[in-house]
Amino acid sequence: MSAAAPLRLGLAGLGTVGIGVVKIVQAQADLITARTGRAVTISAVSARDPQKNRDADLSAYAWETDPVALARRPDIDVFVEVMGGHDGPAKAATEAALAAGKDVVTANKALLAHHGQALAEAAEAQGRVIRFEAAVAGGIPVIKALTEGLAGNRMKRVMGVMNGTCNYILTRMQSAGLPYDTVFEEARQLGYLEADPNLDVGGIDAGHKLSLLAAIAFGTRVSFDAVELEGIGNVSIDDIRLAEDMGYRIKLLGVAQMTGRGLEQRMTPCLVPSASPLGQLQGGTNMVVLEGDSVGQIVLRGPGAGMGPTASAVMADVIDIARGLRLPTFGIPATQLAQPTAASSATPAPYYLRMTLLDKPGALAKIATCLGEAGISIDQMRQLHRPDDAAQNAIVLIVTHKAAPADVAHALSQFGPTGVLVGTPVAIRIEEV
């Protein structure tokens, strides 16, 4: 093969992921050239502090302290953005790169969740691409699987456990029998949490990722604001234990599906069967489930974060560009993406309900009546003794048959007026996986 021109990268961000990219570019140069027919090189890098000690030899690269200046350099073909942040320098530099006619590879889910439509339109107006494999589920090549590998399918549902920190916390609570606050603190000390922990435990980071998958799956504009978000801060060790007894595990699960009412997107704690692939997922590993009308269900599992996996995903995008594989950002041209109707969740599902009732004759009948009047039937019910409860309250667990979320909410609102309820009932959706 004759020598094609090298593909020259400008790398903005020299944290864990950026250094991971440098390592692959340096260590795998021969492999990459064999696979692309050309050299992939780094021309210049940028980071806030050029003096900081980093675990890589950067001496051959030009330095820019301003990522916007990096993005505009004439000696780069691809702007690789691994700084993070959905506004400020990451956005300005990405816009500058596109305006200067560069392709963009980014790991920045927040940026695309907030500005994906405008950025995709800007890229396509310039004939440039934005690639973001590293933005969703780390090393798992899920953007490629969905955009290309399943392109012959009308997608039905996309699901995922896509925040490793949340899954670590939930599985650690379960395995060690520890409450949320204790495990949260452990995770913080282990360095697993973002500077703003709510990005993780509030479900925001995972919600960003879900909104990007939904855009590709359903050909709609990214609509992160329409994702129903509920974090894991209210998941109790009691519910984890009781769910386990009934054959379920609690996961922070993202679900996107197109319904007759519009696009449902939610990132919320859900129960899934313990024996299912999602139920078996332990620790920081990620999993994405893709359901298409022809293919059925495809499950992808792998590391959702870390230097090597994330850099692997960045490099997959770089190599695609080096090979001349070019697609619109979200699979179809940005101007053709539909504005989705945001539907609040109406898809029926079984629900797990836990409540404390006064131990009085007829208490359970009153609750059952509320459910029945809301059109909800009961699949399983257990009443648990709490021997150390001087007040003689009873814990009641109910698993319903499939019920509409609004009907469940209505039934719950009727529990209080019965006068038999102690505290606030817990309701968690059981996603059928």
Instruction: Give the residue numbers of the binding site.
Output: 109, 194
Point out which span in 9-17, 272-280, 366-374, 399-407 binds its own copies (CB under 8 A).
272-280
- Minimum Å gap between C-beta 343 and its own copies is 21
The one-letter amino acid code at 314 reads V
User: According to CB under 8 A, which one of 78, 119, 311, 370 is a site residue for its own copies?
Assistant: 311
Q: Kindly list the catalytic residues.
A: 209
Quick one: which of 1, 195, 390, 391 contacts its own copies (CB under 8 A)?
A: 1
**What contacts 34, CB < 8 A, 6 or more positions away?**
none
Size of the site for its own copies (CB under 8 A): 59
CA distance to 35, 213, 248, per residue, from 158 (Å): 31, 7, 20
Q: Give the nearer residue to its own copies in terms of CB position, either 316 or 358.
A: 316
Name the one range near its own copies by CB under 8 A: 86-94, 243-251, 303-311, 365-373.
303-311
DSSP state of 38: S
CA distance 357 to 395: 6
CA pair distance 112, 226, nearest whole angstrom: 15
Q: Which residue from 413, 110, 136, 145 is spatially nearest to 298, judged by alpha carbons?
A: 145
Contacts of 14 (CB under 8 A, 6+ apart): 22, 45, 46, 47, 52, 54, 58
DSSP 3-state of 403: strand
List the x/- string, 335-354, binding to its own copies by CB under 8 A: -x------------------
- Name which of residues 4 to 63 contact its own copies (CB under 8 A): 20, 24, 28, 31-32, 34-35, 37
Among 275, 365, 384, 406, binds its own copies (CB under 8 A): 275
CA 107 to chain centre: 13
Short-list 277, 323, 326, CA closest to 301: 277
153 interacts with its own copies by CB under 8 A: yes
Residue whose CB is less far from its own copies, 230 or 317: 317
102 in Cβ contact with 10 (< 8 Å):
yes
Is 284 near its own copies (CB under 8 A)? no
Q: Evaluate whether 247 touches 177 at the Cβ level (below 8 Å).
A: no
User: Could you say whether residue 141 binds its own copies (CB under 8 A)?
Assistant: yes
CA 343 to chain centre: 19
Q: Kindly indicate which of the ranges 48-56, 86-94, 183-191, 324-332 contains the residues binding its own copies, using the contact rule CB under 8 A.
A: 324-332
What whole-number distance in Å separates Cα of residue 130 and Cα of residue 321?
Answer: 10
Among 65, 175, 234, 297, binds its own copies (CB under 8 A): 297
- Binding residue (CB under 8 A) for its own copies from 320, 412, 425, 433: 320
What residues contact 127, with CB distance under 8 A and at least 6 apart?
none
Q: Whole-number minimum distance, CB 257 to its own copies, in Å?
A: 16
Q: Give residues in contact with its own copies (CB under 8 A).
A: 1, 20, 24, 28, 31-32, 34-35, 37, 133, 139-141, 144-145, 148-154, 219, 275, 277, 280, 292-303, 306, 308-309, 311-316, 318-320, 323-327, 331-333, 336
